[in-house]
A and B are shown apart, each in its own frame.
Chain A
Amino acid sequence: MSDATLFGPAPDIAARGGWVAVLDEANVLEWLSSRLLTPKAAFVKHYADVLDVRDDLVPLVRSSVAGGLVAVASSGASGACVLVEVDEAAAIPVGDPRVAVLAPVTFDSVRALHMRSEQQRAEFLARRYENVEVDGLPIEISPELFAGRAPGEEDLRRALRGVARVRTAVDHALADRLGGGRLMAVQAAADDRALRGLVQALLRIPPAKPSRQRARTPADWLVLGPALRRPSARKTASFDRQLYEDAAAEFLLRDRRGVLDPNAVVAAVDARMRRRATLSQDDRERWAKARTWIEGLLSGTRPFNRFRSAEFRAEKALLLALVRSEPTEVLTWREEAIGAHADDLLLAAVLVGLAHGRKTAPVAMRPRTLDEALARRELFDLFPTLEHAPREPVVEVDETAHGRCLSLNGMPIRQLPEQARTTALLASLDLTAPGLQDGILAVCRRKGWADLVRTSVRFDGELQVRPRAGATEIQGAGFPHVSHRVDLAAFRQRLMADADQVDQVVDELSAAVGR
């Protein structure tokens, strides 16, 4: 397409200035909420502007000719237009020197937000929303850019006619939901040795291929990619993983404008679980029991105070996600002694994140560095075949003046809970208290701390001892008397050193003492 057919003569004059997107002021808020410079197809709420020209891409024009399009983008609630100037490198040429298409980029590619007046800036900054960060924006007052000759919407439409339709691998809403799941995983992951690895895996571009090693904990098998829409029927997958995947598929399907109906979700998950050919009879019975338990709690016929078992179980995560279905709600479980396993909390938070998405989450939960990393990761979901700069995020746990915090690429992204409480609790716990021995043994068994336990087996009669298949078999008449003795000093030391789930173990033991 020639310049003359687009904006008329004098292309040498018209083609100056940076590349800008001509947006209604309110639509900038949508970009700010996601930190992605998305086309209209990604918008939850859209006011008329140049994004109407094509819903699959973001048209750019040279700032010197943007004035003619301002009227197109000034009919929204504020009646004000913003020219969003982007990096030169983000503009993809379309054969006309004054028109380009924006590459898939994050808000980091924005060079300036041009506004018409100081008053516009003041009005724009005065309105605050919990999911939009407006502090520190590069706003410039550039009234000269808002006047100009009149290339209109039709001219722009014509210029883009030859540009092939842009197709994404997944729709924008799904990418945002997956981003919500990742955000919540970062916020909810336990402060343990697996924390850094989990966060790195969630933010890495390109994502690592699934490990062939046997997946044991949710951190090993946590799936947060587009495949989650259609849960796999892997025979080797554990009950917990299968339940998580079915629940995740349901939370992804949920209309986020609505209120989560816990009973409807349970029924839908139940239908999925029943269809699974990979579930054993034991697993089916476990799910049936869990369903009855969850429904009893949801109906108010019984109270929920704390879990009886401290073990990780996906049905506990499902219950937590159902009764605390808002992002800020589910994260506060950590502060309450409900006897949940750290992985229960992690999976519950992920489910809630999948139901809500990232861009509607409060900005307080997503510091800019983290949000930018999550936005880039979503771009990979949307355009996996594009060339993406590989990113291996640097995740650290830092000691700061304000306590321990998780940092990403040197920037703090999450304050970690104080460990002092746990240490104090553990120190105050009398491990010799009556009734505690069974609990301590259960912890040793679950954590594989066999070296701390001395076991005695006593038979009343004669014994036969013989080797069998790499072990030793003891046979004798009658019933043996089995007793265990735990090295309590070593147990306490081991527990102190193992940050993994220490809170939960201490809570469990404290509750046992209370009983």
Chain B
Amino acid sequence: MRLPTYQELTPEQDAVLMLPLDRRWLVTGPPGSGKSVLALFRAQATVGRELEPVLLMYNKLLARYSEQGLGQLGVDVPVHTFHSWWWRFFREQWQQAPPGQDWEYDWQEITHLQLASPAARSPDLVLLIDEAQDLPAQFFLFARLLFGGLTVFADENQRINDENCTLDEIREMLRPDDERRLTENHRNTREIAEVAAHFYAGAETGIPALPDREGPRPEVHLHASLQEAVERIANLATTARHRQIGVFVPTTRLVDEYVRGLEARDVPVAGYHSGRDIELLDFGRPGVIVTTWASAKGLEFDMVFIAEMQASRGDVESVELRMRLYVLCSRARRELYFSWTGRGVPTIAGLLPSWCREAVA
């Protein structure tokens, strides 16, 4: 994770960074607007003060990613996934597991518990929540009642599924003292943002303004075989061995195949999907991380390969697939590559911007 210099932070980011830590804030913004970076900077600002900061993320991958980002800042702030933290907190407060099944909590029952035996308020506890749209909305009601400071970062466009909460639900439950909106894209180059924007399928926080910073134009690579595709990535990764590279493939089987292929070519690589050990991932070091399209959310890399596109099983007419591609493209900081293998042009290629299709033709 590369953290911005003082000059690289924009006035709207400075404004979020300077917000008092002991109040409730809702910060919204599209991918690349700097929400995760600001969560880390705000966590850093708690150091040396009489505050108890906790950084909460929805999934393990993002938690690991943020943990390593804090390490870069030299800051020791606990990072937890929402579920693990909530279970621990619940047990401490009520000496039992949170009621519910399969990570679906029974909020009515929890409310009864709170009314019968109210949990102690922790005014010094500062919760910084990233990707808040993936948390259950009712949690924000409890957070509001129990904790001193809350900074909640959310983007409705990146909801994992429709069961997650909307910004209106967060607002209603959290009742923030105020709201800040990040509008600018700081992660992508203009060229990458333009391609990402092509896939965008609209929601409240909108799409960020196209960035000014320029960079190389995204490329489309066609390969005869998976081995050839792996070879090309291996060559680029060897030349750019100092860079963090993300390879996103549609299936877990392909994650394993790419990992094996890159390992065979002596490229430092780690793969991640739900069946693999997350401890193997190190976001602070250069190298390749291969993961599924579904696990790419919230991450960012210098170079991104959206590979094996022909293996996507999504409906090419669906909004979900477009939004998926939007999220995948917007993970790239410097360079973006689309690729597929085999003969012919897969249907999904029809979703690419026309200049990409022309390049293929």
Q: Which residues does A use to contact B, with CB under 8 Å? A: 26, 29-30, 33, 44-45, 47, 76-79, 122-123, 126-132, 255, 257-264, 297-298, 300-305, 323-324, 329, 332, 359-360
Contact = CB atoms under 8 A, between A and B. Distances in A.
Nearest to A336: B241
B120 to A, nearest CB: 27
Given A258-B215, A261-B214, A297 B239 contact: yes
Interface stretch (B26-34, B228-236, B287-295, B340-348): B228-236
B116 interface: no
Interface in B67-96: 73
Given A45-B7, A77-B18, A323 B238 contact: no
B182 to A, nearest CB: 13
Given A128-B44, A262-B216, A303-B234, A323 B7 contact: no
Contacts of A262: 216
B212 A257 contact: yes
A129 B239 contact: no
A121 to B, nearest CB: 12
Contact of A77 (B11, B215, B236): B11
Given A77-B17, A127-B17, A301-B235, A263 B189 contact: no
Contacts of A303: 234-235, 238-239
Interface of B: 3, 5-11, 14-15, 17-18, 41, 44-49, 73, 189, 212-216, 232-236, 238-240, 242-243, 333-334
A259 B212 CA distance: 11
A122 B15 CA distance: 17
Contacts of B233: 300
Contact of A26 (B14, B44, B213): B14
A77 B15 contact: yes
A304 B233 CA distance: 12
A126 B49 contact: yes
Contact of B5 (A126, A127, A130): A130
A122 B189 contact: no
Contact of A323 (B8, B214, B240): B240
Contacts of B45: 123, 126-127
Contact of A324 (B44, B212, B238, B242): B242
A116 to B, nearest CB: 15
Contacts of B214: 255, 258-259, 261
A70 to B, nearest CB: 18
B11 A45 contact: yes
Given A128-B73, A323-B240, A360 B333 contact: no
A258 B18 contact: no
Nearest to B234: A303
A30 B242 contact: no
Nearest to B221: A300
Query: Which 10 pairs show the lowest CB-CB distances between chains A and B?
Result: A259-B215, A77-B14, A300-B236, A129-B6, A258-B213, A304-B239, A44-B7, A258-B214, A131-B5, A303-B235
Contacts of A79: 18
A276 B243 CA distance: 35
A307 B18 CA distance: 48
B239 A33 contact: no
Nearest to B44: A128
Nearest to A329: B242
A72 B249 CA distance: 54
- B6, B9, B11, B213: which has the most chain A beta carbons within 10 Å? B6
A262 B216 CA distance: 8
A52 B240 CA distance: 43
B55 to A, nearest CB: 16
B138 to A, nearest CB: 32
A26 B7 CA distance: 10
Contacts of A263: 216
A337 to B, nearest CB: 12
Given A122-B49, A128-B44, A298 B239 contact: yes
Contacts of B9: 45, 129
Contacts of B15: 77
A123 B44 CA distance: 11
Contacts of B41: 127
Nearest to B333: A259
Contact of B7 (A30, A301, A332): A30
B6 A302 contact: no
B341 to A, nearest CB: 15
Given A131-B7, A261-B216, A303-B235, 8 more contacts: A30-B6, A78-B14, A126-B47, A128-B44, A257-B212, A258-B215, A303-B238, A329-B242
**Most-contacted residue by chain A among B7, B48, B216, B238 (CB, 10 A):** B7
The listed residue with most B CB atoms (<10 A of its CB), out of A261, A300, A332, is A300
A264 B236 CA distance: 17
Contacts of B239: 297-298, 300, 303-304, 323
B215 A29 contact: no
Contacts of B333: 259
Contact of A305 (B212, B215, B238): B238
Contacts of B11: 45, 47, 76-77
Contacts of A77: 11, 14-15, 17-18
A130 B44 CA distance: 12
B178 to A, nearest CB: 14
Contacts of A45: 6-7, 9-11
Contacts of B236: 300
Nearest to A324: B242
Given A122-B49, A259-B334, A303-B238, A130 B3 contact: yes
B48 A126 contact: yes
Contacts of A305: 238
B7 A359 contact: yes
Nearest to B219: A299
Contacts of A329: 242-243
A260 B243 CA distance: 14
Contact of A29 (B6, B44, B48, B243): B6
A221 B334 CA distance: 33
A217 B45 CA distance: 48
Nearest to A33: B6
6 contacts: A127-B45, A258-B213, A259-B216, A300-B232, A300-B233, A329-B242
A122 B21 CA distance: 13
A436 to B, nearest CB: 26
Given A77-B14, A127-B41, A259-B216, A360 B235 contact: no
A305 B49 CA distance: 48
A359 B236 CA distance: 31
Residue among A122, A126, A259 with most chain B CB within 10 A:
A259
A45 B11 CA distance: 8
Contacts of B213: 255, 257-259
